[in-house]
Amino acid sequence: MKRKIIRLAAFIKGFLLWLRPHYFLGWLKQPLLMASNFIYLSKWISLQKKTELNDFYSPARQYAKRYQLYEYLLTQTGIAQEPTDYLEFGVAQGASIQWWTKNCTNSAWRFYGFDTFEGLPENWGLYKKGDMSAALPAMNDERVHFFKGLFQQTVPVFLSTHSMNAGRRKLIHLDADLFSSTLYVLTSLAPFLKKGDILLFDEFNVPNHEFHAFKIFCDSYYIKTQLLGAVNNYFQVALMLE
């Protein structure tokens, strides 16, 4: 019986592929993916434990609330006192990395910022490839190092020259907006992540981008996280690796 079902399923699949459904159903790809990811996101949110800083549900988004989340991480997780590697993926003009260098003066911290500095490598929603291009931020802080180029080119070089397992905590700030960039970074860093490391997302609740990348990453590497804080209805989210 099982064999018959498998043969029938294989026949139907082959037949459907032969019909070339992408010609007449292609327009459904994005909305269906969006609907599926939206449902996963809703479920993920419902599974998060209570935490002191979480504004869900709040009717209006205030982007500046992300700085409350940064402040919370600095003061409530103990990282401010620990030697920490802060890695930021998506620097642009440097607003977020400048906040961190200004507010965390621990000389044992290291700041690594990665960006093309030539803008997004792909279209993202209403933004076009090349949007957000910016000059390297001028920062008078010797703890800061920038890596210019696609993550796909700079991250392997960084990982081969930088000791990621040197007993330092990691705060990984994912602010590249795109699914591809976020997934690339998470999978590249996977071998080096440890319990207690922090993932900070800037556009987490965008279903087909950062959230989609995060979900695939957690499913593929059996990653478990604990919610530290969230603002703007999970737009900005901080998670600690378990």
Ligand X SMILES: C[S@@+](CC[C@H](N)C(=O)[O-])C[C@H]1O[C@@H](n2cnc3c(N)ncnc32)[C@H](O)[C@@H]1O
Nearer to ligand X, 176 or 186 (CB): 176
Shortest Cβ distance from residue 118 to ligand X (Å)?
7
Q: How far apart are CA 15 and CA 21, in angstroms?
A: 10
For ligand X, the closer of residues 77 and 116 by Cβ is 116
CA distance 177 to 165: 27
How many other C-beta atoms lie within 10 A of the C-beta of residue 117?
20
**Range 126-161 burial, b when 16+ CB lie within 10 A, else e:** eeeeeebeeeebebeeebbebbeeebeebbeebeee
State the nearest-atom distance from the C-beta of 184 to ligand X, in Å. 6
The type of residue at 63 is Y
Give me the residue whose beta carbon is nearest to ligand X.
90
Contact call for residue 210 and ligand X (CB under 6 A): no
Which range binds ligand X by CB under 6 A, 8-16, 21-29, 49-57, 147-155?
147-155
Q: Select from 41, 74, 176, 231 the one that contacts ligand X (CB under 6 A).
A: 176
Cα separation of the two ends of the chain = 44
Other beta carbons within 10 angstroms of residue 220's beta carbon come to 12
Helices (H), 120-193: 151-161, 179-189
Which backbone phi and psi does 16 adopt, to 5 degrees?
A: -65, -40
Tell me the closest approach of the beta carbon of residue 48 to ligand X, in angstroms: 23
Give min distance, CB of 70 to ligand X, in A: 10
* Binding status of residue 177 toward ligand X by CB under 6 A: yes
Q: Does 208 bind ligand X (CB under 6 A)?
A: no
Residues 91-120 that bind ligand X (CB under 6 A): 91-93, 95-96, 115-116, 119-120
Tell me: does residue 175 bind ligand X (CB under 6 A).
Answer: yes
CB 181 to ligand X: min, Å: 3
Asked if residues 132 and 92 have their Cβ atoms less than 8 Å apart, the reply is yes
121 lies in the site for ligand X, by CB under 6 A: yes
Q: Which of residues 150-169 bind ligand X (CB under 6 A)?
A: 150-152
Binding site for ligand X (CB under 6 A): 90-93, 95-96, 115-116, 119-121, 132, 150-152, 175-178, 181
